[in-house]
Structure 1
Amino acid sequence: MRKFYLIVLLLLSWNVNGQGLPGLGAGTTPTNKPILHGKDWVAITGKPLGASAGAAIFQQGGNAVDAACAMIAATSTMWDVLSWGGETQALIYNPNTKKVIAINALGYAPTGATVEFYKSQGMDYPPQYGPLAATTPGTPGGIMTMLAEYGTMSLEQILKPSMDLAKGYPIEAQTANAMESQKARIKQWSYSKKIFLPHLGEEREAPSPGEIFVQEDLYQMLSKLVEAEKKALAEGKSRKEAIYAAYDRFYKGDIAKEIVRGTREQGGLFTEEDLANWKVKIEEPLHVNYKGIDVYKLQEWTQGPALLQSLNILENFDLKSMGYNSAKYIHTVYQAMNLAFADRDFYYGDPAFVKSPMKGLLSKEYAKERAKLIGDRNDPNITAGDPYPFQGETNPYLDLLNKNKEAIAFRNPEQINTKLDTEFIDNFQKGTTSVEAVDAEGWVVSVTPSGGWIPAVVAGNTGVGLSQRMQSFVLDENLNPYNLPEPGKRPRVTLTPSLAMKDGKPLLAFAVQGGDSQDQNLLQLFLNMVEFGMNVQESVEAPNFNSYQMQSSFGDHEVRPGAIVLRNDSPDWVNKELASKGYSIELWNKTSGPINAIWFDWKHGTFWGGSSDYGDDYGIAW
């Protein structure tokens, strides 16, 4: 406990410079992992071998986009809480245009995936697992679009590490044990069983940690992509055109046909038209300014804008004077997150179908009104507000909003379930990895690829594990009229890369895995640095707190009002004060989540990389 008190005193005494950046005193607190100092590049992702793939591309002269693509491909091959049939979403800073670009490579609902269909199956929500949980594959298209539009290398070059891994690599304990623990479900799907359980009939049927794990079908699929690129180059096509030739083979050629065949054989809904018509979207990101820093997130088909809303609300408070992780600070940030996530739960969805009121939701005036709702105690009955008047419009779903409020109003201390059981936590913090890459030329990439985690349905003989993202839809319009499944519609997901700019220059690239907890952890990382002067490694390791009052995006979409997780070295007096404010507290050993981040030191022209000590995340810099 003395170590924690010392850290708090150091944080409160640091001299934070006028730019809201780590001051000269930062860096004095011991961290479990060192800062990654780089001059030429930094590569960070969820697995050491994945970071090595990025480093190899950098060493060959690739830029940050090339390296990020290689890391996404490698982590997908390694089943690092995702696979090749999952989804990829990214923020990219282009130093040539000096603009931040958003990549939307999230798959969409297949033909026949409607509210009526899932209800006809006796479901309250789309399923968590299996072929009916699958959106169309997005990650291959995301990788190839990013590479074609903003990279410099060939698809063959960035796929080489993945193809080497597919031939066989020593599997990590985390992934191998996930296969073993999920083997009962895996055995339902013949193509998954063939890959994940090479020792059928033995006591341990999954690979053992350190065993060479081979994926021949996936290797052949990746080889076909390279063949398509080579053929196009031999025909005189440009680098970009050749990459898109491989893209077409995946989504319109023989690979697509096998994905559809294998998925439908196992009860899925995919059609060849579903894959052929899906496209990666290059979009404008959303952003707000917090004390002179522009923070960018993806659009409302993700939960990312909730972080922006939280920052707008918190601008109305003097957070620094409250003291780092004091009861007052924790309470204020928790309540701000609850307000923002209540809006997320009701308003966010695919803007291509129903446009959410993002102008109102992200207005400073709306944030001031929401901030007035923060009292002295936790409010378990917080619901979505009405942002439409703040953009000069009338709410078209006011009747549903009122029904939503009525449904939530039942919450009282006797009726609220605050127990954080294992299944609830597993659902709430599902999946995802993160990829961060920067280079001396100025390219910045922040990605949260996900989907197709173990146990995944493998699509025929492709080695491609399918996404489980359909479960993020709801089937009740009273919960969220913007996020009901329709063919061709993207579900509202938790995936949320982040990028911050100051004075027109990149300041911080940051992302984390962890389902609905992602933007909670990222918000606190940002505040740790901007308000309390931590450096990037201190911040990724710092004790976060997590709320479970927002609706889970997975499973049965449950909520635990007032539940809060603190790190186990939180002082007793803080815990007691929070309990008196109506919180139900649990203490954990680690609470920061596996955050990865890169901070730009413009004074010295270098990069500072931070990689959390939470899981297997790893970074390399040069």
Structure 2
Amino acid sequence: MKRLISLCLLALPLFPAAAQQTQKPVLHGKNWMAITGKPLAATAGAMTFQKGGNAVDAACTMLAATCTMWDVLSWGGETQALIYNPKTKKVIAINALGVAPTGATPKYFKDKGYNFPPENGPLAATTPGTAGGLMHMLANYGTLSLEEVLAPAMEMAAGYPIEAQTANSMEKNKELIKQWPYSKKVFLTHPGEDREAPNAGEIFVQKDLLQTLTKLVEAERAALKQGKSRKEAIMAAYDRFYKGDIAEEFVRGSKEQGGLITMQDLAKWKPIEEEPMMVNYKGVEVYKLQQWTQGPTMLQALNILENFDLKNMGYNSTRYIHTLYQAMNLSFADRDFYYGDPYFKPEEPMKGLLSKEYAKQRASLIQYNKNDANIGPGDPYPFEGRKNPYLKMLKKRGYEPDTVRRNFAPTHDQRSGSSMEDAEYQDRLWRGTTTIEAADKEGWVVSITPSGGWLPAVIAGNTGIGMSQRMQSFVLDAELNPFNVVEPGKRPRVTLTPSMALKDGKPYLSFAVQGGDTQDQNLLQFFLNVVEFGMNVQQAAEAANFNTNQLWLSLGGTKIDDRKPKPGHILLNESTPDAVRNELKKMGYTLSFGDRTSGPINAVFFDWQHGSFWGGSSNHGEDYGIAW
């Protein structure tokens, strides 16, 4: 009888998905949809649509606005985007991630006593990518001028009422900010007072940034007067940013504060258009960026989960949570060892990692009755007809990929001493950014997860531009990940991961989330909420997710121990029933809880039956959407 009760609990859903009430309403529109991380930035997107711009124009406007508002990013950060082009009916991937500068080598950082590149300061900076990514997208797929798209951001730089979240972040980090003279000048508007940062609602002015944006507009205007085309004029502004006086001041300010970025680094960098990664999950094509992001992790997990009847398990039943947790652990173990910049050798085994046959092998490792604390990277090479050159390295670390069940935890995977409640660890796991979703009636769809240059940021000279902190996502030791070792000109493997899905050859979902290593965990569950459990887009954006900590952290910490996996540690929603909690404990999980665990998801669902959009904007933070 006891065994029967246990099996029943394993299949117990929290509540019927169709009955879920939401705290925010679904957005409905038939002409356009604009969603992002801040209300004012969403308004900027709406203003652009009202001007007659398309979804790319609106997305670029929201990107410029969120950078200016320091929505956990700035103009010196990086931009990752997926764009659906209705003319070609294809999804385009935009790689606007900065690269490691000249002199950034493992030896350089090890000689300074680092185990990873630092998480703050000028040595944390890759070259800025967001400005170039914005101008590339606008020039090639937008319709408006750069001046029109930058107008809301420029008005904000001239002065906007700052919201409490950003102002309080400036105050919280003021001791770090005081180390960097140009940051101190911008962020600490009340020097010497008890509160040195702006107050909520105070008009926050950024004169240097306004001057930089004005220079971009001036370059565009001058090119147009010379008879240049719209695209050529936008790229003239691009050249001024990366090769002209803006670049000179950026490099000067970086070097003055100890940074490595050179004029040559900026001039050589450029955004790249790529083929996205894609897997088909039960008739839905799911698109992600390439392996310089963690995006393929979700694709791997979907391939694994296709081998299970998730719907029959029940939404957030014990068995469902356990199965997804194990699938995510398997895919993250591969991410942590095999992902890196595809433009540098060695070549990542992505064909094998994304093969359905490899997924079946990985799925066979899942134990139905307990958490596997010893999950490690698999061996995808045979699934693409190659021999794995890293087997000796993996065995040295204590792994026997996909062959023998391990009965011990490798040294690097043993739990570190800090508990899951450790605030610093949780901050590194969840470290945020923002997201941008835009769609229009002509069929353009844009999903962006930009980041970098978040507070506390080093501002480079008198540019008003905060420098990226993405160098910290590199490793210095090939034994941790031979594909992601820092090298000048190389891109670090990032957590940033916009998503798009097509069904029957047409856009089905466009979705993204902030939150460091939790991003593809929450996006996976959002997607399954819609596809498997029939939730609408707002229900799926607010639904109770869970997160695994059984992975290597991509951000923060100065020691190897700071980033080690925490096997079995799981964050659950407070609404999780006692029966499910007890079952999970018996299966070897260590539980903690939160009141909102969806992650700040923003999404668009395409209702082809009625010819309209459904927008979902998370109740998790300040995310906001406007539709028409």
TM over 0.5: yes
Q: Which runs of 5+ in 1 are unaligned?
A: 12-25
Change (3 A) 1:52 1:415: closer
Matched, 1:385 2:378: yes
| CA distance in structure 1 between the partners assigned to 2:587 and 2:417 by the alignment | 15
Name the residue aligned to 1:16: none
Q: 1:238 aligns with which of 204, 229, 233?
A: 229
C-alpha separation between the residues in 1 aligned to 2:411 and 2:466? 41
Structure 2 distance, partners of 1:414, 1:482, is 25
Shift of 1:414: 8.2
When residues 621 and 394 of structure 1 are mapped into structure 2, their CA distance, relative to the original with a 3 A threshold, is same
Could you tell me which residue of structure 1 aligns to residue 280 of structure 2?
A: 289
Tell me the distance in 2 between the aligned counterparts of 1:116 and 1:412: 25
Aligned to 1:71: 62
**SS at the partner of 1:296?**
strand
Aligned counterparts of 1:130 and 1:318: Cα–Cα separation in 2: 48
Is the aligned partner of 1:331 residue 2:337? no
Determine the structure 1 residue equivalent to 2:535.
534
Deviation at 1:257, TM superposition (A): 0.4
- Look up the SS of the partner of 1:93 in the other structure: strand
Residues 417 and 561, structure 1, Cα contact 8 Å, conserved in 2: no
Deviation at 1:9, TM superposition (A): 3.8
Report whether the alignment pairs 1:174 with 2:165: yes
> Residue in 2 aligned with 1:603?
609
Q: Provide closer, same or farther for how the CA distance between residues 110 and 409 of structure 1 changes in structure 2, counting only shifts above 3 A.
A: same
TM-score between the two structures when normalised by the length of structure 2: 0.94
Runs of 5+ unmatched residues, structure 2: 1-10, 400-407, 558-562
Q: Secondary structure at the match of 2:154?
A: helix
Aligned mate of 2:393, from 390, 400, 405:
400
- Output the amino acid matched with 2:372: D
Give matches, 1:15-94, under 5 Å: 26=18, 29-94=20-85
Q: 1:380 Cα deviation (Å)? A: 1.2
State the alpha-carbon separation in 2 of the partners of residues 181 and 558 from structure 1: 27
1:215-230 to structure 2, matched below 5 A, reads 215-230=206-221
Secondary structure of the corresponding residue to residue 61 of structure 1:
coil
Which of these residues, 369, 383, 403, is aligned with residue 361 of structure 2? 369
Q: In 1, Cα distance between the equivalents of 2:238 and 2:391?
A: 43
Q: Report the counterpart of residue 358 of structure 1 in structure 2.
A: 350
Which letter does structure 1 place at the counterpart of 2:64?
A
- Distance in 2 between residues matched to 1:460 and 1:494, nearest whole Å: 28
Q: Which of 195, 202, 208 is the aligned partner of 1:204?
A: 195
Task: Give CA deviations for 1:213-264 in whole Å, capped at 9, x if unaligned.
Answer: 0000000000000000000000000000000000000000000000000000
- 1:94-120, CA deviations, whole angstroms, 9 ceiling, x for partnerless residues? 000000000000000000001110001
Indicate the SS of the match to 2:510: strand
What is the alpha-carbon distance in structure 2 between the residues aligned to residue 414 and residue 272 of structure 1?
A: 43
| Alignment size in residue pairs | 603
Distance in 1 separating the partners of 2:159 and 2:13 = 44
Instruction: Tell me if structure 2 keeps the 8 A contact 1:303–1:493.
Output: yes
User: Are the counterparts in 1 of residues 397 and 411 from structure 2 also a CA contact under 8 Å?
Assistant: no
Change over 3 Å in CA distance of 1:10–1:57 after alignment to 2: same
Given residue 380 of structure 1, which amino acid in structure 2 is its aligned partner? Answer: A
Asked whether the equivalents of residues 400 and 477 of structure 1 are also in contact (C-alpha less than 8 Å), the reply is no
CA distance in 2, matches of 1:402, 1:137: 38
1:65-464 correspondence runs (5 A): 65-354=56-345, 355-375=347-367, 376-405=369-398, 408-410=409-411, 418-464=419-465
**Post-superposition offset of 1:555:** 1.7
Give, in whole Å, the separation in 2 of the partners of 1:538 and 1:138.
Answer: 34
**Residue 216 and residue 413 in structure 1: after superposition, are their counterparts in 2 closer, same or farther (change >3 A)?**
closer
* Structure 1 range deviating more: 400-409 or 196-205: 400-409
Counterpart residue number, 2:510: 509
Identify if the C-alpha distance between structure 1 residues 413 and 146 changes in structure 2 by more than 3 Å, giving closer, same or farther: closer
Deviation at 1:429, TM superposition (A): 1.2
Equivalent residue letter for 1:173:
A
Q: Aligned letter for 1:496?
A: T
In 2, the alpha carbon distance for the partners of 1:276 and 1:610 equals 39
Instruction: Confirm or deny: 8 A CA contact 2:82 2:499 kept in the other structure.
Output: yes
Q: 1:331 to 1:198 in 2, by over 3 A?
A: same
1:564 aligns with 2:557: no
2: CA distance, partners of 1:420 / 1:605: 46
| Cα distance change, pair 8–380 in 1 and its aligned pair in 2 (3 A) | closer
Q: Supply the distance in 1 between the matched residues of 2:165 and 2:550 (Cα, whole angstroms).
A: 29
Question: Does residue 619 of structure 1 match 2:625?
Answer: yes
Letter in 2 for 1:601: D
Aligned-partner Cα distance in 2 for 1:385–1:139: 34
CA positional deviation for 1:418: 4.8
Kindly report which structure 2 residues correspond to 1:445-524, keeping only aligned pairs within 5 A, or say none: 445-524=446-525
Displacement of 1:411 in angstroms is 7.7
Decide whether the 8 Å contact of 1:418 with 1:561 is kept in 2. Answer: no
After the TM superposition, list the runs of 4 or more consecutive aligned residues in structure 1 that deviate by more than 6 angstroms: 411-416
Give the Cα–Cα distance (whole angstroms) in 1 for the partners of residues 20 and 393 of structure 2: 50
Identity of aligned residues (%): 68
Query: Within 1, Cα distance between the matches of 2:135 and 2:588?
Result: 49
Q: Deviations over 1:393-449 (max 9, x none)?
A: 011222222223359524898877653310001111112100000000000000000
RMSD: 1.5
Contact 1:70 1:161 in 2 (8 A): yes
Q: For 1:389, give the aligned amino acid.
A: P
In the alignment, is the contact (CA less than 8 A) between 1:288 and 1:294 conserved in 2? Answer: yes
Counterpart for residue 552 of structure 2:
551
CA displacement, residues 550-598 of structure 1 (integer Å, 9 cap, x when unaligned): 1000123232111100010100000000010100000111111100000
Rounded Cα–Cα distance in structure 2 between residues aligned with 1:109 and 1:414: 31
- Please say if residues 418 and 584 of structure 1, whose CA atoms lie closer than 8 Å, have aligned partners that are also in contact: no
Q: Give 1:15's aligned residue.
A: none
Q: What amino acid is the match of 1:213?
A: F
Q: Which residue number in structure 2 is paired with residue 589 of structure 1? A: 595
Provide the TM-score with structure 1 as the length reference.
0.95
Q: Which residue of 2 aligns with 1:20?
A: none
C-alpha distance in 1 between matches for 2:415 and 2:154? 56
Letter in 2 for 1:438: A
The 8 Å contact of residues 14 and 317 in structure 2, kept in 1 or not, is answered as no
Cα distance in 1 between the residues matched to 2:12 and 2:188:
49
